[in-house]
Amino acid sequence: MYRLFRAPRGLRGKLFKLTGPIFLETLLMLTLGVVDTLMLSHHSDNAVAAVGVVNQLLNMVFLLFNITTTGTSVMCALYFGAKDHKSFIQVLGTSLLFNAGIGCLISLMLFLFGREMLVLMDIRPDLMPDAETYMHIVGGFGFFQAVSFTISAVLRAANKPNYAMQVTLLINVLNVFGNYALIFGHFGFPALGVQGAAISTSVCRGVAMTLLFIMLFKRLVPRIPLAYFRPFPFQKLKDVLKIGLPSAAEQISYDASQVTIVYFINMLGNEYLTARVYVMNIVIIGYIFSLSIAQATSICTGNLVGARKKQAAYLLSWYAWRRSLLITLVASTGVYLLGRPLLGIFTENQAIITIAMGALLVDVLLEQGRATVLLFLFCLRSVGDVVVPVIIELFCMWFFAVFCGYMFGIVFGLGLAGMWFAFALDECSRGAVLCLRWRTQKWKKRMLIKNPVNIS
């Protein structure tokens, strides 16, 4: 037992030094949204509803930024491990230009056609004024997110996740003060309500982008030689998109499957739908643990493969998987054992609590599968094996999670627990197939980058 929990050294130590900041950054990002909702709830319920609808739309649109962000992270990790500084900077530069361009285009579209998009979402007329205001401001400055996502991905790939975490922590604090001042009218500012929340969010994102730029150039890349971009390295952008496009397709398909699942749960009734929301909020900590370890492992794997240490990358992944399963098991079991008190924070409705407890029990199995999926999916992605894993993901999520979820939950009458069991089958089946694909070691034959050029 001592060996499982003692402080690791070497590559294992590096893995957990990366995991900690990534975990905190992800947790803080989620906290940012929770704080916004909480503070707006003291302004008006309509404000919360309006902002919730807009954020749902913005989150789907901002998925387009992940097309390059995922590929940028993979390619930068490989070139960083290979010590090929020129190629590293070329990937950084092309990705920044591409995402900034896409970000500005999307921001312009959201600003000009935001109202039309909200009409298509059939938003209630009484929510439209607040929703339109929030869309114009936050959507209009969406390019801040596009650039910030790219820089954060590069910093992580270069083993410097602390900087992104520090920026996120600062932004959380600024956002609280900004919301307090602009929503409610303190410190001499007018009470602007939803408009104030939108201004605070956009200003904070602008500050975050500026700070990330400063850290990028002060701590990682002192300068970007223009000679590296003459002629323009289109091949580097192509390599980024080769990884990013399939990954984005998988994410879009996942979001679509979740919308379908929510539609099915809605057929069971409001209590089941509410129980799902509470369960999703409670189990998020275990998910963040799994995601953080998977992201850290993919960075280490990319660095090692770039340095031509593929066997070390292979062995490290199995170590990370065992740790991820252990941590996730402890977290999900703890959540189940404390389920009733935790659910009691959200509701006193015993029917909802009973429904949610059934799902939490099954979730112990689900989280083991999800930890496996995330780790091996990110590992395969980090070595450029993206197409086959995406096909596996698409088949499993639509057959098990959607089709079997409908059969177990609706047709067989097993309710939310039955649907959760289908979700567990989805995660476990995907995890098993991805694990086997990683174990075949066919990815070792892939050559995403040329022989490393060591530049001091």
In a domain, 453, yes or no: no
> What percent of the chain shows pLDDT beyond 70?
96
In a domain, 363, yes or no: yes
Residue 191: which region, alpha, beta or left (left: phi > 0; alpha: psi -120 to 50)? beta
Say how many domains are in the chain. 2
Domain check: are 282 and 209 in the same one? no
What's the predicted TM-score (pTM) here? 0.87
CA–CA dist 328, 285 (Å, integer): 9
Output the DSSP codes for 235-277: HHHHHHHHHHHHHHHHHHHHHHHHHHHHHHHHHH-HHHHHHHH
Domain check: are 277 and 390 in the same one? yes
In a domain, 224, yes or no: yes
Average pLDDT over residues 146-161: 93
Domain check: are 315 and 341 in the same one? yes
Domain check: are 263 and 377 in the same one? yes
Alpha helices in 269-413 (DSSP H): 270-282, 284-306, 310-337, 339-346, 350-382, 387-396, 405-406
DSSP 3-state assignment of 436?
helix
Residue 25 sits at the vertex; the CA angle it makes with 132 and 248, to the nearest 5 degrees, is: 60
pLDDT of amino acid 9: 62
Q: Are 343 and 280 a contacting pair, CB within 8 Å?
A: no
pLDDT class for 450, splitting at 50, 70, 90?
low
Domain check: are 209 and 270 in the same one? no
Q: Within a 10 A sphere around the Cβ of 401, how many other Cβ atoms?
A: 24
381-420: per-residue pLDDT in tens?
A: 999 899 999 999 899 999 999 999 999 999 999 999 999 9
How far is residue 352 from each of residues 275, 279, 357, measured CA to CA in Å? 5, 10, 9
Question: 434, 440, 436, 154: which is closest to 302 by C-alpha?
Answer: 154
Domain check: are 202 and 278 in the same one? no
Q: Identify the domain boundary among 178, 207, 232.
A: 232
110-120: per-residue pLDDT in tens?
A: 999 988 988 88
pLDDT of amino acid 6: 47
Average pLDDT over residues 254-266: 85
Q: Are 110 and 64 a contacting pair, CB within 8 Å?
A: no
Domain check: are 204 and 334 in the same one? no
Average pLDDT over residues 272-282: 85
Of 42-46, 147-151, 321-325, 350-354, least confident by mean pLDDT is: 42-46
DSSP 3-state assignment of 33?
helix
Q: Is pLDDT above 50 for 183?
A: yes
How far is residue 111 from each of residues 103, 134, 338, 377, measured CA to CA in Å? 12, 10, 45, 36
Instruction: Identify the residue with better confidence: 255 or 320.
Output: 320
Element (H, E) at 417: helix 415-440
Q: Are 93 and 238 a contacting pair, CB within 8 Å?
A: no
Q: Within a 10 A sphere around the Cβ of 238, how many other Cβ atoms?
A: 11
pLDDT class for 47, splitting at 50, 70, 90?
confident
Q: Identify the domain boundary among 174, 209, 232.
A: 232
Instruction: Identify the residue with better confidence: 30 or 21.
Output: 21
- Give the pair of three-digit tokens for residue 234: 């289109």
pLDDT of amino acid 441: 92
CA–CA dist 242, 446 (Å, integer): 14
pLDDT class for 355, splitting at 50, 70, 90?
very high
In a domain, 1, yes or no: no
Owning domain of residue 376: 245-445
pLDDT class for 456, splitting at 50, 70, 90?
very low
Instruction: Identify the residue with better confidence: 345 or 225.
Output: 225
Q: What are phi and psi of 164, to 5 degrees?
A: -65, -40
In a domain, 455, yes or no: no
Q: Identify the domain boundary among 232, 253, 283.
A: 232
Average pLDDT over residues 209-221: 93
Instruction: Identify the residue with better confidence: 112 or 281.
Output: 112
126-140: per-residue pLDDT in tens?
A: 888 988 999 999 999
Average pLDDT over residues 298-321: 94
What is the sign, positive or negative, of the torsion defined by CA atoms of 296, 298, 303, 305?
positive
Q: Is pLDDT above 90 for 428?
A: yes
In a domain, 450, yes or no: no
Domain check: are 72 and 142 in the same one? yes
In a domain, 382, yes or no: yes
Domain check: are 339 and 212 in the same one? no
70-111: per-residue pLDDT in tens?
A: 899 999 999 999 999 999 999 999 999 999 999 999 999 999
Of 111-120, 186-195, 250-259, 415-424, least confident by mean pLDDT is: 250-259
Q: Is pLDDT above 80 for 32?
A: no
Domain check: are 339 and 364 in the same one? yes
pLDDT of amino acid 296: 95
In a domain, 322, yes or no: yes
Domain check: are 35 and 62 in the same one? yes
Q: Are 136 and 114 a contacting pair, CB within 8 Å?
A: yes
Domain check: are 84 and 218 in the same one? yes
Question: 308, 289, 302, 292: which is closest to 161 by C-alpha?
Answer: 292
